[in-house]
Structure 1
Amino acid sequence: MLSAFPWLAAASLASGIVSLGFMRYLWPYRNRLGGRFFLATIGCEALWSLSYGLALFVFDPALREAFEVPIWIAINFIGVFFLAFALEYTGRGHILRSKVMGGVVALQALHTLVVVTNPLHRIAWSDYTVEPTHGLATVVYAHQPWLFVNAAGFVLMIAVASFLLADTVFSYGPLYRTQAAAIAVSPIFPGLPFLLWLAEVGPMPPLNLTPLLFPVHLAFDMYAFFSRDLFEMVPAARRVADRAAIDNLGSAVVIVDSGRRIIECNDEASRLLGTSRDDALGRRFETCFDDVDLDGDNEPITRRRGGRKRTYAVATSPLTGSAGAAVGDTIVFQDITEERRREQRLAVLNRVLRHNLRNDLNVVTGYLEMAEERVDDEDVREMLDVAAENTAGVVELGEKARHIERALDADVDDPDTVELRPLLDEIAEDLSGAEPDAEVVVDVGGDATLRATPSLLETVFENLLENALEHDPSDAPRVTVRVADVETEPGFLAVEVADDGPGIPEHELAVLDETEETALEHGSGLGLWIVKWGVDSLGGTVDFEVTESGTRVVLKLPAASEAAASHGEAGHEA
């Protein structure tokens, strides 16, 4: 009569059947990252469990020893497949094609060959005998050194794979934490009885209870698969994205540790260094970049690449650990060669056009005035007047460009609190002095304040009001500035500038939405561009609405405070 022990054999068979069932559910995911290797791992567990369960009912010594072959094949390749799964699942798939991984597979194949041929040489185990215990075909054999080496490799691979999965738990936060932790912990349960059996700890003859704990291991795997989207959220994507973010940045990136040694760099950085990435790793940063100060502000540096000089802007940022301690620095080298060239060319052209053109046109203006005084023909005098007027317009345009440059170069990163009413009153007074028949109505409460660069804000409103008056053909042009009763984001104040002129032509507004002006569609002046650029620099938005009664421009600009924005609206409604 069988005691309770044969139920352990039945439990081993049941464990194998459960493993096969789990493989059936995993099959559709075989092409996901890590899927095929995870399937192979469960398959090895099924082979081990089924072979061991059947072997416990085989009492013929030769046949019983033959069952050790599939058991040890499963043992040898569980570690290989589980390690391969961990590598691919965590984004280290390139290691699978390395010589090291090839050596691991070759070593396990050698171990398997030794097990298969063990009856010929007995270097894995010896003195193999069947000693029935409680109705089970238990065996006793002497573990030879090769067997311990074989088992050590299996344990080491499982440990490395678990470490890689555990590293994902700590490196990538909660997104992949649960499923990676479940899979990393699961090998502990079958691993412990395997080590006890290997060390021959327990009753004699010892039973290898490892297959009996595979269901516990599978329970963790099933939890990761069914509850935590094992193959839907794969940490390999995060790891590949981290690597790609550095490689595809387009700028040279160097990462150093607290000892200022290079621990990572992308391909662009290695080209900047003039060496391979592997050669760069481990070198001290200052030996490669002696003109870069990681603790201070850095001016652009110049390097030769491909026989040409390139200019790089240097940006450094510290790396800190979980405790807030500095662990290194990230240094980004951005190639600004073309940008510098464009700036230099524009600066030269700007200086030549502004200085030389202004001086030459002033001379032209003087000669036109002299010629007009000496000419009696009215037709000629009229032509000279037109030439003088156009010349003055070009000079005025150059002066406006100079004011624009100064305004846009203002420090927008350190804005001030600006009271809107006094600023608008001053602009209105200046415009009324230049055009006595024009009327500028300022309907803005005294509490309306903005957070802006004063000179830039003044330039924006000055151009809006000036354009509204200049392009109104009536004898008494009128423009009104008021706080607009429109919906805005919290912390913003809407200001409306409205006129009763003919309206801004559609093609003038269309070019503001284009990336560049074209030959057939261009603005007639700088005014609208000044407004657009200025508002963008101030962190606001501008909308134009043209109707039959005129043009309505709504500017939404950062208010000095939430209270200021609400006070401005309250003042307008009152």
Structure 2
Amino acid sequence: MFQSIPWLAAASIASGIVSVGFIGYLWPYRDRLGGRFFIATIGCEALWALAYGVALFVFDPTLRYAFEVPIWLAINFIGVFFLAFALEYTGRSELLRSKAMGAVVGLQILHTVVVVTNPIHGIAWTNYRIEPVFGLATVTYAHQPWLFVNAAGFIAMIGVASFLLADTVFSYGPLYRTQAAAIAISPIFPGLPFLLWLAEVGATPPLNLTPLLFPIHLAFDMYAFFSRDMFEMVPAARRIADRGAIDSLGTAVVIVDAGERIIEHNDEATRVLGLPAGTALGGRLAEHAPDIDPAASGGTVTRTVDGTERTYAVTTAALETAGGTAVGNTVVLQDITAERRREQRLAVLNRVLRHNLRNDLNVVQGYLDIAIGRVDDADLRGMLETAERKTAGVVELGEKARTIESAMGGEAGSVATVAVEPLLEDIRDDLLAETDAEIGIEVPAELSVRTDASVFAVVLENLIGNGVVHNDADTPVVTVRTVEADPGHVGFEIEDDGPGVPAHELDVLDATEETALEHGSGLGLWIVKWGVASLGGTVDFEVSEAGTTVRLTLPDAADADATREAGEGTATPGTSAPERDNP
């Protein structure tokens, strides 16, 4: 039946035509990463299939041998182009210009020259003859060692390329998994018949069925191209982004394996740690940074960089496989020199303002009080009293700074369960001891909030205190009540009947640049803003002719810490006199 139908030749030619058609679809993508090399790979397949299909009709030995040249040219360079595609597609383009890649290309050129000149020397094969099968001009020849070396190189390149694509499947998760897997698997189908032909396995050894399997190979490639946006989503972008992100951080990053050997680092790490350029990989981190433990996060190290002593915060993170096996650690060195210097300057200034200046002003206040008591002149006494009030305001401003430092200068995350009603009652009692006011508390008696107790108290003291102090009524009225909030949050509303917070002071809180604080009038609002921000909440002010309404929303850590809360008591933080803003 097969003798009357040139099925092998027709199938091979059809396979070549399909490949050429696929190239037509791919051509607009030739400038994408991997595009030109993928097109060249398909082009070699088309050349192989078409040349083999036509050669099966040629019975003249000399002319038939001439067709071996394009066939082996395609065989020799399919691997080269597929490997080049895999390198560029997965983000390893720098290897395309390496000496190793140049050697690969040179070797394949040599193999091609050997095939072309084989009739002269017989290095690749001998005893070349036509042995028709199914009425076609199939050939047979004795394979020589060089031919196996040639084929081994071809198979090795296909294998390396497939490995690179498979590595993308496992490394980058589902984003590129399907198209990379399809392209990595596709060479298996034409590869198996080629190996069988090379090993002369089968009933008819002269038949090389490889071109007939190209359509299956192309079906996987077409799936990757048409269904998975093969050239729209390339793994190279992810690989280059990973590398570029580390290099562009401006922060020293070192990655070590489980044996604490350096397997990756960026240029900043080379500069900070003094790593030897180009030779640090593979060396132990302890050789260059004995004071850094890759498994222990926290702490600081000091290094002299570019002639300047700098301080770095050390942060580490474990690297684990999907199964939880530890494979190494990432070490990040964050330059905190400027931050440390700023903290030092602020500490010195704070000491001067809080200690030296406060002490001196207390002396001034004492003398002013004495002078006021000894002066009979009303005008002079008035001036002294004004001076005494201004001095008291400056002292109070220093006390506000102390409150900020004590409440918000501690470690973040000092969470406690705060009983809200007792806290509000303590604040009310302190205020009523100094002024006449009506302070209403409309909160559930059982309401408790898990939050930073000291910061929470300072925020409420200032909001309620400001509503009393900045109120020109004979009896200021302030009401604190709970309001609805999102799940996991608690909402409060502080309402007063005063003249309202001036708009320019609220604008200061939203400004992106610093504004001078006049007479300390804005410091209380800053305390509220900073405190609420540190608690992770929000605060909004609504000013009307009836007064000011402040809406405060805070996250309640009780949900996240429910299991811990069972073993803890309820805390009511101690309160102090509210930090009030001077008019």
Q: Same fold (TM over 0.5)?
A: yes
Letter paired with 2:506: L
1:235: Cα distance to partner? 1.4
Match of residue 240 from structure 2: 240
Match of residue 528 from structure 2: 531
Match of residue 400 from structure 2: 400
Bigger drift between 465-474 and 104-113 goes to 104-113
Match of residue 382 from structure 1: 382
1:540: Cα distance to partner? 0.9
Letter paired with 1:450: V
Letter paired with 2:495: A
Aligned residues between the structures: 561
| 2-structure distance, mates of 1:562, 1:3 | 81
Match of residue 552 from structure 1: 549
1:362: Cα distance to partner? 1.2
Alignment of 1:50-199 (within 5 A): 50-199=50-199
Residue 278 of structure 2 aligns to a residue whose secondary structure is helix
Bigger drift between 370-379 and 91-100 goes to 370-379
Residue 231 of structure 2 aligns to a residue whose secondary structure is coil
Match of residue 208 from structure 2: 208
TM-score (norm 2): 0.92
Compared CA separation, residues 377 and 107, structure 1 to 2 (3 A): same
Match of residue 22 from structure 2: 22
| Deviations 1:457-503, CA, capped at 9 Å, x for gaps | 11000001111111111211111101124xx3211111000111111
Letter paired with 1:242: D
Residue 279 of structure 1 aligns to a residue whose secondary structure is coil
Compared CA separation, residues 2 and 328, structure 1 to 2 (3 A): closer
Letter paired with 2:335: D
| 2-structure distance, mates of 1:523, 1:9 | 94
| 2-structure distance, mates of 1:474, 1:145 | 107
| 2-structure distance, mates of 1:160, 1:183 | 13
Letter paired with 2:301: I
- Is contact 1:19-1:45 (8 Å) kept? yes
Alignment of 1:391-430 (within 5 A): 391-430=391-430
Compared CA separation, residues 202 and 523, structure 1 to 2 (3 A): farther
- Is contact 1:23-1:43 (8 Å) kept? yes
| Deviations 1:47-87, CA, capped at 9 Å, x for gaps | 10000000000111111111111111111111011011111
1:311: Cα distance to partner? 0.5
1:513 aligned onto 2:510: yes
Compared CA separation, residues 253 and 518, structure 1 to 2 (3 A): same
Match of residue 221 from structure 1: 221
- Is contact 2:492-2:553 (8 Å) kept? yes
Residue 137 of structure 1 aligns to a residue whose secondary structure is coil
1:411: Cα distance to partner? 3.9
1:40 aligned onto 2:40: yes
| 2-structure distance, mates of 1:125, 1:389 | 109
- Is contact 2:440-2:479 (8 Å) kept? yes
Residue 40 of structure 1 aligns to a residue whose secondary structure is helix
1:233: Cα distance to partner? 2.1
Match of residue 249 from structure 1: 249
Compared CA separation, residues 40 and 522, structure 1 to 2 (3 A): farther
Compared CA separation, residues 280 and 29, structure 1 to 2 (3 A): same
| 2-structure distance, mates of 1:5, 1:118 | 32
1:205: Cα distance to partner? 5.1
| 1-structure distance, mates of 2:253, 2:551 | 43
1:3 aligned onto 2:27: no
1:563: Cα distance to partner? 13
TM-score (norm 1): 0.94
| Deviations 1:194-232, CA, capped at 9 Å, x for gaps | 111112222355111110100111111111112222222
- Is contact 2:69-2:115 (8 Å) kept? yes
Compared CA separation, residues 287 and 376, structure 1 to 2 (3 A): same
| 2-structure distance, mates of 1:114, 1:137 | 23
Compared CA separation, residues 168 and 563, structure 1 to 2 (3 A): closer
1:561: Cα distance to partner? 4.4
Compared CA separation, residues 4 and 467, structure 1 to 2 (3 A): farther
Bigger drift between 410-419 and 136-145 goes to 410-419
| Deviations 1:306-359, CA, capped at 9 Å, x for gaps | 111111111122222233222211111111111111011111111112111101
| 1-structure distance, mates of 2:203, 2:154 | 24
1:39: Cα distance to partner? 1.0
Residue 3 of structure 2 aligns to a residue whose secondary structure is coil
Note the residue ranges of structure 2 that are not aligned, 5 or more in a row. Answer: 562-583
| 2-structure distance, mates of 1:5, 1:161 | 37
Residue 3 of structure 1 aligns to a residue whose secondary structure is helix
Compared CA separation, residues 382 and 235, structure 1 to 2 (3 A): same
| 1-structure distance, mates of 2:230, 2:347 | 58
| 2-structure distance, mates of 1:496, 1:446 | 16
| 2-structure distance, mates of 1:286, 1:522 | 55
Match of residue 537 from structure 2: 540
1:296: Cα distance to partner? 4.0
Residue 304 of structure 1 aligns to a residue whose secondary structure is strand
- Is contact 1:265-1:277 (8 Å) kept? no
Match of residue 461 from structure 2: 462
| Deviations 1:284-316, CA, capped at 9 Å, x for gaps | 121111112344454311011111111111112
Q: Percent identity?
A: 69
1:489 aligned onto 2:507: no
Compared CA separation, residues 392 and 205, structure 1 to 2 (3 A): closer
| 2-structure distance, mates of 1:134, 1:297 | 73
| Deviations 1:383-433, CA, capped at 9 Å, x for gaps | 111111100110011011101110002444131111111111110111111
- Is contact 1:410-1:455 (8 Å) kept? no
Residue 501 of structure 1 aligns to a residue whose secondary structure is coil
Match of residue 566 from structure 2: none
- Is contact 2:274-2:288 (8 Å) kept? no
- Is contact 1:511-1:522 (8 Å) kept? no
Residue 279 of structure 2 aligns to a residue whose secondary structure is helix
Compared CA separation, residues 153 and 391, structure 1 to 2 (3 A): same
| Deviations 1:120-150, CA, capped at 9 Å, x for gaps | 3332223322222221011122222222221
Residue 278 of structure 1 aligns to a residue whose secondary structure is coil
Compared CA separation, residues 522 and 427, structure 1 to 2 (3 A): closer
- Is contact 2:415-2:450 (8 Å) kept? yes
1:245: Cα distance to partner? 2.5
Match of residue 501 from structure 1: 498
| 2-structure distance, mates of 1:354, 1:404 | 12
Bigger drift between 246-255 and 152-161 goes to 246-255
